[in-house]
Each structure stands twice: as structure tokens, then as C-alpha cells.
Amino acid sequence: MSHDDQLAAKGIGRRGFINTAALASLAGVVACTEKPAESAAAAPAAPAAGGHAAPAGVHPKPGELDSYYGLWSGGHTGDVRVLGLPSGREIHRIPVFNPDALVGWGITNESKKVMGTKANGDLRYTVADTHHVHASYKDGNYDGRYAWVNDKINGRMARIRLDYFVCDKITEIPNIQGFHGIFPDKADPVDPKINYTTRVFAGAEFSIPLPNNGKDAGKAEAYRSLFTCVDAETMEVRWQALIDGNCDLVATSYDGKLAATNQYNTEMGAVYADMMSAERDACAFFNIARIEEAVKAGKSKTYGDSKVPVVDCTRASNKDPKTALVGYVSVPKNPHGVNASPDGKYFICAGKLSPTGTVIELAKVLDWFDGKMEKLDDAIVAEVELGLGPLHTAFDGRGNAYTTLFLDSQVVKWNIEKAIAFHKGDKNAKYVVDRVDLSYQPGHLNASQSETKAADGKWLAIGCKFSKDRFLPVGPLHPENEQLVDISGDKMTLVADHPVRGEPHDFIIFKRDLLKPKQVYELDDFPLATKDPAQGGIKREGNKVTVRLTSQAPAFSMTEIKLKKGDNVTLILTNLDKVEDLTHGFAIPKYNVNFIVNPQETASVSFVADKPGIFWAYCTHFCHALHLEMRSRIIVEG
Ligand code: K7E
Ligand code: CUA
Ligand code: CA
């Protein structure tokens, strides 16, 4: 075989090979030796002929899997996106708060029950705004049980089961508005055996009069914010804490003892000029064990109709550190994100309106609560200049922090211990390690495994709020630009732009082997399941009609479903196919019904048969060579 023939046999054109070889030798991985075909094939990211050079491993070859999962909040699409990393490919969208036409979320009775309905059966809400997704922990790493996401608009917290990638519970939190920061705890503050998530904390960004009944709209001092604790298993609200100022983002310590929220509005202003009048705002640290003791001891009150106990975490009531439920560390002007370093030692607040990052040492915060340190602000071990508009911080597990600079359109990589040395007075300590330009205006960022003890320092994704010229124009609405940076070396390398539909905020990235998703449901998990087509059929009690239907490619168990005008119909569909990836759909023309059933799943819809006629219900999800033939005739007699 000639050189060219060998290359052709590998499916690599001469031009592609030249690019590949150049790339490979540049990277110092493989030199062009006497075995060109192998060396070309050895570079995993061999670009197509004339393609852009991409570093190894970013673009998997057809059939190759990504090495990380990413869970992305969807913003006001109200969903959670699942990405494969480092490719950036969107694999799935998990509908959560908003209806979704693909799966019939908000159409089926099961999803409506999760989403919440009004007395007439309609959905209570059809808008939401998700910002932050975080997953359950065990031993300081993700355990693959759950993820949680906030809805800022309607103050709701949703849980996603990570075995099936579906939302199974949504809780509306009382007494708050603008639910923004969310973070699960990582351990119990008291019982060391509980080394996994049992609580999820929620911060309320907007202050409202309590109770919010329209009576105190003009009274500035009536406006308050609460910090909330939700039970991870039951999803019931355990307790709330009345605070001074507001809540923005939330972080939790690895030992379970502390949760914190950064506060940009300690002024409690109603307009932005008032919200930025103070030179310093704060990061409020909650002593979880003490708060729960206070709740147990009944040192709480309630507001309005809510039965949730509310403890007093205002400054005035928590002056003695030895009994304080809360401590307020001061942070420069209108800080944004607060992030926990993977070594468990620090929380870092980004300055936003101040060009600084503030490093708070958790051991010192605990010292203050123990009465061993007089001034809580002495827990600040570094406050260093990073650049303009610092928002969020990620970590590589090697002692470096990565902070987005919204105004500078950069990520700055900085060394935490050097920043601490600089702050202590060592002016030779060069804490800034590197900067990389981004496109454009980054908000959140996260590194692979960053918010776990297993931070691995491989990839950094940055959610850029503006993409401007980075993608083909599609009219006035631009996608956002999720950029990918290789952080495995000393220098950061920007390796990819990924357009995403608006508008994710936060996300987490973790190793794929932390999840073991199931691809087929268990029939027994569905009380309404029809396990045998023979058990199906139509049952009528007056005008209340139950249709039990099964699907097995390429047919539904009934070819004809006879109804009478005015019937109250509940149609229950069980997919008896057991094969992975064999999903069926069920649509009823003119009745606004469409939903899917995955293998061994049961779902139901209810409707009034108010339109007489013939309606060809059909399978909407391609399942078989005879998919188009997969239909059932619904006859509504006039
Ligand atoms: Cu977009 Cu996390 Cu809501 Cu910062 S928040 S950017
Ligand atoms: Cu069943 Cu398509
Ligand atoms: Ca402020």
C-alpha cells in the first residue's frame, strides 16, 4: 500500500493528514514517522479536511462517548439541559417547570401532578426561570441520586432524579420572592455518619412585606428576605431564617456545619441606586446545627398561612457569637457568586462592583462561633484585585481559582495561597497566574468536578452572556456562547465555542461514571400500568370513561376507541416494549394531546370528548418501519 492508499483506507484525505500531522507534532504528541497512518489515527481530534485545528479529545469521533456529563440550567425556558463534555453536544433537555411538547410534560396527568395544578386542573404556572443546578453529594462527591434547580419567578425548587433524568418533585417555597441561590448540603452538621446530602438551601433575592398581603407595600422596613432549608428527600420546607439584607448565591461547607449566602443589598434598598450605596455588603454564614436546635426548641414564628417555622437571623438578635445562629462577614460592594474551594477550606466571594475576590477561611468562621475569635471579619484571609466585574469562581483542585470578569470579558486564573500571602503583606507574591479573553461577557463558569473534593482541573466551561459575532446570524435573538477552556496546563487554552439556546446561567460538570442511568422503566413503578394487553379496554361508568391502552411496535392494543360526546375520558397508555430506545408517542388531533411513553412507562391524559367525529390518534415518535401505520381510530359519536 502506498502512503496515500493507507490514508484513504483510514478515511483520511491527504490534506486532512497534513493538518493532523502538523497538529500532532506541534503538540509534541506524535512525530510524523514511518507509520503515518497510525500516527494520524492516533490523534483523536483529527480534523476534517480543511477544518480548524482542535486539540485532542474535544470532538469525539462518531460513536465515541464524552467523558463528562454537564447539567445546565435552561434559564427562562424552565428546563435543565444535559450536555456531553468536552464536546458540548446537547444530549437531552429535562422539562421541569414549563410544559414541553416533546415528552408531553404539562399534558400528562403524571407531569401535571408534579408541576402543580389549579382547582380546575389547569397548570398553576407555565413560566419559570432556572439559574442554578446542583447535585446531591456523598463523601464530598456527586452520588448520582438527585439534582435540584431553582425557579426564580415563582419561588419554586425542583428535584430531578438522575437515574431517569426526570423531574419528580416541585416545592413552592412560602414567604419569599426571587428564589435565586440554591445549594445542597454535603454532610450533616452533627451526625458524621450522614456524609451525604439531606438538605437543600435556598436564598431569596427580593424582599417582600411579611405576610405579603398588600397591606405594607409602602413600609420600607416591612420588606424582608428569608433563607430557606428544604428536606432533600421529602422536599418539604424544614425551616426558614429571617435575615437582614437579601440572599444571592448559596454555598455549603464540606463538613455540613456552614451554609452561606452572599448579599448585595445589605442596604435593603428598593431601587438600584440605594442597593449600591454601601461600600461593603456581606456574606451571611448560617450555623446549621444551632438553627435546627432553635427550631426544635420552638424559638420560631410563622407568617400568614405558612406553617414553616421561621427563626430570627437578624444582626440585632445574634450579637453574641457563642449563641449566634448567623454571622455576617463584610464583603466589598455588591458581591456576586460565593463558591466553596474543593479542599474544604475557603468560600470565595466575587466582588462584581468591586474588582476583588474575597477569600473567607471557614475554620476561622467556626472559631468566631466558638468564641475564639473576636471579629468575624478576621476570617477574611485575602481580598485581592482580580479585574473588572468578578462574578463566579471555579477550581482546579491544584490550589487555583478561576474567576469570570464580566466587564473585562476574561477569566482570571489565580492562586489562592499566593493571594493569601499577598494579602498578608508579601507584595512579591504573584497570585495572578493567567488570563484568557472570552467572547463575550462571561457570567457563570465551572470546571470539571470543581464543586467536589474530586476537582480534576481538566476542563473549564464559561457561560458567556453575549455571543455577538461568534455564530451565523439568526435574526435579532442571539444564542449564548458556552466557551470551553483546557485548564490542564499552566496556561489556559480556549478550545471551543458552543452556541446554546437562551439562557443558561449555572451548570455543573462531572465524570460520566458517577451516573448509572436506567434506560428502561420498571412496569411496577406505575400503579396505572396495564401489564397485559388483554387487561386493556374501555370501562364506562356513566360518562366517566377509562381507556387502558398498550403499545408494542408497531401497534396500539386497540385499533378503535369508541366514545360518546361529553364523555370524561382518562386514557392510560402503557408501553410494553422493553427494548432500549423504543419510545412511542400518542397524539389525538384537535384534542391538543401529545405525549410519549418510554419503554415500560405508563402515562395518562384526561380530556372531555366534546368534539364529535373521527380522530386518528397516531404514534408521533419514530419506532418501527411501520411507524406511520401505528394508529388508533377514536370515534366520538355525536
Ligand atoms: Cu446568572 Cu447565578 Cu442567577 Cu451569576 S446568576 S451570572
Ligand atoms: Cu410507535 Cu412510532
Ligand atoms: Ca449593596
User: 72, 167, 177, 178: which is closest to 116 by C-alpha?
Assistant: 167
From 33-47, 210-224, 458-472, 521-535, the region with the lowest mean pLDDT: 33-47
Say which ligand is closest to the CA of 446. 1
From 1-5, 137-141, 302-306, 497-501, the region with the lowest mean pLDDT: 1-5
The reply to whether ligand 1 has any atom less than 6 angstroms from the CB of 464 is: no
Strand order across the 400-405 sheet: 390-395, 400-405, 410-415, 432-437
Q: Are 374 and 381 in contact (CB under 8 A)?
A: no
CA of 297 from ligand 3 middle (Å) equals 34
| Shortest-distance atom of ligand 2 to CA 622 | 2
Angle at 404 between CA 399 and CA 408, to 5 degrees: 130
Q: Note the pLDDT tens digit of each residue in 209-229.
A: 999 999 999 998 899 999 999
The answer, yes or no, to whether residue 72 has pLDDT greater than 70, is yes
117: left (phi over 0), alpha (psi -120 to 50) or beta: beta
At residue 55, the pLDDT reads: 54
3-state secondary structure 396-447: CCCCEEEEEECCCCEEEEEEHHHHHHHHHCCCCCCCEEEEEECCCCEEEEEE
- Atom 3, ligand 1: residue with shortest CA distance: 131
CA of 271 from ligand 3 middle (Å) equals 11
- Mutating to test ligand 1, I would choose from 73, 76, 391 the residue with most ligand atoms within 8 A of its C-beta, which is 391
Dihedral angle sign, alpha carbons of residues 311, 316, 322, 323: negative
Q: What does pLDDT average to over the chain?
A: 92
The reply to whether ligand 1 has any atom less than 6 angstroms from the CB of 290 is: no
The answer, yes or no, to whether residue 1 has pLDDT greater than 90, is no
CA of 94 from ligand 1 middle (Å) equals 20
**Distance between CA atoms of 93 and 377, rounded to whole angstroms?**
43
| Shortest-distance atom of ligand 1 to CA 131 | 3
CA of 6 from ligand 1 middle (Å) equals 51
The reply to whether ligand 2 has any atom less than 6 angstroms from the CB of 553 is: yes
E strands within 139-247? 141-151, 156-161, 166-172, 177-184, 199-206, 208-209, 223-231, 237-243
Mean pLDDT score, 348-356: 98
The answer, yes or no, to whether residue 23 has pLDDT greater than 80, is no
CA of 97 from ligand 1 middle (Å) equals 18
Confidence label for 151 from pLDDT (cuts 50, 70 and 90): very high
User: 432, 331, 336, 339: which is closest to 389 by C-alpha?
Assistant: 336
User: 468, 488, 494: which is closest to 480 by C-alpha?
Assistant: 468
The reply to whether ligand 2 has any atom less than 6 angstroms from the CB of 596 is: no
Say which ligand is closest to the CA of 630. 2
At residue 57, the pLDDT reads: 60
The answer, yes or no, to whether residue 146 has pLDDT greater than 70, is yes
Strand 560-564 with 631-637, pairing: parallel
CA of 553 from ligand 2 middle (Å) equals 6
CA of 499 from ligand 2 middle (Å) equals 31
Say which ligand is closest to the CA of 75. 1
Greatest alpha-carbon span in the chain = 87
From 42-56, 103-117, 342-356, 624-638, the region with the lowest mean pLDDT: 42-56
- The percentage of residues in the chain with a pLDDT greater than 70, rounded to a whole number, is 91
C-alpha 604 chain-centroid distance: 28
The answer, yes or no, to whether residue 76 has pLDDT greater than 90, is yes
User: 261, 240, 258: which is closest to 311 by C-alpha?
Assistant: 240
The reply to whether ligand 1 has any atom less than 6 angstroms from the CB of 134 is: no
Mean pLDDT score, 19-38: 34
User: 407, 427, 410: which is closest to 418 by C-alpha?
Assistant: 427
Confidence label for 59 from pLDDT (cuts 50, 70 and 90): confident
Q: Note the pLDDT tens digit of each residue in 544-595.
A: 999 999 999 999 999 999 999 999 999 999 999 999 999 999 999 999 999 9
The reply to whether ligand 1 has any atom less than 6 angstroms from the CB of 506 is: yes
| Shortest-distance atom of ligand 1 to CA 505 | 1
CA of 370 from ligand 1 middle (Å) equals 33
The reply to whether ligand 2 has any atom less than 6 angstroms from the CB of 627 is: yes
pTM: 0.91
